[in-house]
Amino acid sequence: MELATLRDRLAVDDVITGYAVAVDDGDWAAYRGLFTPDGRADYRSAGGIEGDAGSVAAWLAESLGAFAMRQHLIVNRRVRFGTLEQDTGDTARVQADYVNPMGFAADGAGPAAPDLVCGGRYAFGLLRTGDGWRLSEVVIREKWRRLPGRTGAAATG
C-alpha cells in the first residue's frame, strides 16, 4: 500500500469518527463542518429527514435533545477510493455498521441504562477538498431498534 493511500485511509477514518463524536456530543457546528457545501444526509430509514447538512443538523439537535446520553459506535468500516476527473483517490465510499445506545436524562443517581438502542449500516460518500476530506453524502439504513420496556429487537427495514 502506498503511503499516500494510507494517509488518505487514516484521514477518511478521522472524518467518520468525527461524525460520530459530533452527533454524540451534540456539536452541530462540527457536524456541519464535516460536510462539503452541498453535502446531504438521509435519515429517513430511521424515521428522520433527508436534506442538506444544515437542515439535518437542526433536525438532529431537536430530535436527539431528549437523550442526555448518546454513544455512537461505528464499526466494520470498508473504505473504497474512487476517481473524480481522472484523478485516482479524490472520492471515497465507506460502508460501516453502527450500534447506537441512547438514554434519557438520568435522575442523578448515576449512569442509566440505555432507553433506546438501534443499529444498522451507514453509506458515507466523501470528497477530497482543499480543506481535506469532507462528507458529500451520508445515508443511514437502520436495521433494528430496541425500545424501552421491550425485549428483543424489532426490525425496522
Q: Domain ranges for the chain, please list them.
A: 3-148
Per-residue CA distances from 63 to 15, 48, 56, 67, 102 (Å): 23, 9, 10, 9, 12
Q: Render pLDDT for 79-116 as a digit per residue (tens, 0 to 9).
A: 999 865 555 568 999 999 999 999 886 665 555 667 88
- In the prediction, which pLDDT does 148 show? 65
Q: Which of 7, 6, 33, 37 is nearest to 22 (CA)?
A: 33
- In the prediction, which pLDDT does 115 show? 85
CATH number of 3-148: 3.10.450.50
Q: Which of 34, 8, 9 is nearest to 138 (CA)?
A: 34
Q: Render pLDDT for 15-73 as a digit per residue (tens, 0 to 9).
A: 999 999 999 999 999 999 999 999 999 999 999 999 999 999 999 999 998 888 899 99
Q: What's the residue count for the chain?
A: 157
